Chains A and B, each alone.
Chain A
Amino acid sequence: MPNTQELQDLVVQVRRDILRMVHKVNSGHPGGSLGCTEFFVALYNEIMDLKEGFDMDGKGEDLFFLSNGHISPVFYSVLARRGYFPIEELDTFRLINSRLQGHPTTHEGLPGIRVASGSLGQGMSVAIGAALAKKLNGDDHLVFSLHGDGELQEGQNWEAIMYAAGNKVDNLIATVDRNGQQIDGATENVLPLGDVGEKFRAFGWDVMHIENGNDLDQVIAGLKEAKSRTGKGKPVCIVMTTEMGNGVDFMMHTHAWHGKAPNDEQLANALAQNPETLGDY
């Protein structure tokens, strides 16, 4: 296990990767990616029990599904720096003939990706299926998933939430990135989500909160706590409050950077706030 300083260095480096990736192609989604950087770094480097290499079936290891596929930059950066594919490949993000499509896909054979996502609201169902397969296989590893809060406006989520509780899918930890923002503005203005945790609880989930999803220690502690709650007859939901654009001052406290890339000057400013730690790709 890496120590906390090494993980902090990785967080800063992943932020740089995200910013440089979206800047190069002048497209992509930096806001949500930056908000979930600590979560991804913790999950892949501290929390999940992972095998070496990659195979689609993922037997004998923990699995992760990204439902809000638009935050692919953070996913790709963390996968690359965990060794799933060469870090240099991050430079091909969103380019023609790349394995790093705008939204994650299995179609180009990128190691680490087990289902396509991007059309929202589908990831929880897939995660439930994978969790059920683990139970059938007698595999006691866990399935993690991440969902945007705005994404919960898609009705399929509530079918899945109802199913998971009703069928005691207790090897599943679904985290909701509660950044309160979506493309058209604040979630509570676009279509109010209300108390997300209470809604999951009403459906029969074991619900916990990570109050500051951009505090690495809190994220690690929260995910460890969630793991300890699995296997007890209920799926586990983490409502994780994050700040969109975290780590870059002018990208925070706004939904403006949901799907917008920085220009040259903005990139320089953002990178200056996040000095190189482990080496740029």
Chain B
Amino acid sequence: MTKYTDQGKQDTRSGYGAGMTELGRTNPNVVALCADLVGSLKIETFIEENPERFFQVGIAEANMMGIAAGLTIGGKIPFASSFANFATGRVYDQIRQSIAYSDKNVKICASHAGLTLGEDGATHQILEDIGLMKMLPGMTVINPCDFNQTKAATLAIAEHHGPVYLRFGRPKVANFTPVDQKFEIGKAVMLNEGTDVTIIATGHLVWEALLAAESLENQGISAEVINIHTIKPLDEKAILDSVKKTGCVVTAEEHNYLGGLGESVARTLTMHHPVPQEFVATHDTFGESGTPEQLMEKYGLNNKAIEKAVLRVLKRK
């Protein structure tokens, strides 16, 4: 199978920070907002180099979303950032009315998504944000897999007109995508071609899917691995082309199986090419405190869980 090398573990939020640093130097219309989490969002360099283009709103996320909407009136491209929980569920109506329904060019950039923020526990571990955001008409939803891809996505969404939800995380994870790979919104990335099963993964689960595919190969199972970094709009063609070949699919995401990538894939399959599907996701539950590794193990979100799901789905073919 195609070999991928970890270039050195990094956090995806630092990919966002690196992207913001570059945008600060290249796009004078980009402005940044943050709700008392500058260090966590890794945007210190942007702020240092562009103090007049940074707005510290304090612990007031609702106001941040409204200010971001207003800044677009006058041609600014606001990147409003916080933890995923506080950047979505807490301010859903502000996003719905002032940003999505008003068609404002705001980029909602959310770190610490999912279980992998770890010890802070379920108050901070949102597993519903993809569902919340993909339900908003006109909202683009992106969940990149590593540092390089998060940086590339940050640059790409500045060029896209319209509201975007960019979701990333806290822990240091494998950084394996090419440093210069162009990010195409809505275009799936084929990581490994296979014939027996399709694994469709997003975010931190993409690397885990590659580890699972490697293990499966040793068992004589050929797994196709697709990185769906854009959950909306979904690259339905890439998904359908793959499942027509493999005949079954496992979706993998750090999110509730209700409302996540898996459901979007299931809808596509039901409409166009029904095949057996297994979901690697949390099952309608909140998280809890623990290390990221412990949590991903307990809630079934690692390469071993993907491998088991593949074995299950193969029996249903």
* Contact present for B74 and A122 (CB under 8 Å): no
Which residue in chain A gives the minimum CB-CB distance to B138? A107
Bound: A168/B2 CA distance, A: 56
* Contact present for B63 and A163 (CB under 8 Å): yes
Residues of A within 8 A of B (CB): 56-59, 63, 65, 105-107, 114-119, 122-134, 136-137, 139, 155-156, 159-160, 162-163, 167
* Contact present for B70 and A106 (CB under 8 Å): no
Total inter-chain residue pairs, C-beta < 8 Å: 118
> What are the residues of chain B within 8 A of A124 when measuring CB–CB?
66
Bound: A159/B58 CA distance, A: 9
* Contact present for A126 and B101 (CB under 8 Å): no
* Contact present for B97 and A122 (CB under 8 Å): yes
Listed by A's residue number, 18 A-B pairs whose Cβ atoms lie within 8 Å are A58-B73, A63-B73, A107-B101, A107-B102, A114-B73, A115-B69, A115-B104, A116-B98, A122-B62, A122-B97, A125-B63, A126-B98, A128-B70, A130-B70, A139-B74, A156-B62, A159-B57, A167-B55
B64, B73, B94, B103, most chain A CB atoms within 10 A? B73
* Contact present for A163 and B57 (CB under 8 Å): yes
- A119 and B97 contact, Cβ closer than 8 Å, known pairs A105-B102, A107-B102: yes
Bound: A123/B67 CA distance, A: 9
> What are the residues of chain A within 8 A of B53 when measuring CB–CB?
136
Q: How far is the CB of B138 from chain A (nearest CB, A)?
A: 9
> What are the residues of chain A within 8 A of B74 when measuring CB–CB?
57-59, 130, 133-134, 136-137, 139
- A115 and B102 contact, Cβ closer than 8 Å, known pairs A56-B73, A130-B71, A134-B74: yes
Contact for B98 among A58, A125, A134, CB less than 8 A: A125
* Contact present for A163 and B102 (CB under 8 Å): no
B66, B71, B72, B101, most chain A CB atoms within 10 A? B66
> What are the residues of chain B within 8 A of A139 when measuring CB–CB?
74
A115, A119, A131, A137, most chain B CB atoms within 10 A? A115
Q: How far is the CB of B110 from chain A (nearest CB, A)?
A: 19
Contact for B60 among A57, A118, A162, CB less than 8 A: A162
Which A-B residue pairs are the 3 nearest by beta carbons?
A129-B70, A125-B66, A133-B74
B94, B102, B103, most chain A CB atoms within 10 A? B102
Q: How far is the CB of B62 from chain A (nearest CB, A)?
A: 4
Contact for B58 among A58, A118, A163, CB less than 8 A: A163
* Contact present for A126 and B70 (CB under 8 Å): yes
Residues of B within 8 A of A (CB): 31, 52-53, 55, 57-58, 60, 62-76, 78, 93-94, 96-98, 101-104
Which residue in chain A gives the minimum CB-CB distance to B94? A122
* Contact present for A57 and B73 (CB under 8 Å): yes
Q: How far is the CB of B54 from chain A (nearest CB, A)?
A: 11
* Contact present for A132 and B55 (CB under 8 Å): yes
> What are the residues of chain A within 8 A of B101 when measuring CB–CB?
105-107, 116
> What are the residues of chain B within 8 A of A59 when measuring CB–CB?
74-75
> What are the residues of chain A within 8 A of B60 when measuring CB–CB?
159, 162-163
Bound: A122/B67 CA distance, A: 9
> What are the residues of chain A within 8 A of B62 when measuring CB–CB?
122, 125, 155-156, 159
* Contact present for B66 and A122 (CB under 8 Å): yes
* Contact present for B94 and A57 (CB under 8 Å): no
* Contact present for A126 and B66 (CB under 8 Å): yes
Contact for A57 among B67, B75, B78, B93, CB less than 8 A: B75
Q: How far is the CB of A58 from chain B (nearest CB, A)?
A: 6
Which residue in chain A gives the minimum CB-CB distance to B73? A130
- A115 and B65 contact, Cβ closer than 8 Å, known pairs A105-B102, A136-B53, A163-B60: no
* Contact present for B70 and A163 (CB under 8 Å): no
Which residue in chain B gives the minimum CB-CB distance to A139? B74
Bound: A59/B58 CA distance, A: 28
Q: How far is the CB of B269 from chain A (nearest CB, A)?
A: 32
Q: How far is the CB of A220 from chain B (nearest CB, A)?
A: 26
* Contact present for A116 and B70 (CB under 8 Å): no
Which residue in chain B gives the minimum CB-CB distance to A109? B103
- A136 and B55 contact, Cβ closer than 8 Å, known pairs A63-B73, A116-B101, A159-B63: no
Bound: A160/B58 CA distance, A: 11
Which residue in chain A gives the minimum CB-CB distance to B78? A129
Bound: A134/B74 CA distance, A: 7
Which residue in chain B gives the minimum CB-CB distance to A118? B97
Q: How far is the CB of B85 from chain A (nearest CB, A)?
A: 18
Q: How far is the CB of B86 from chain A (nearest CB, A)?
A: 13
Which residue in chain B gives the minimum CB-CB distance to A166? B58
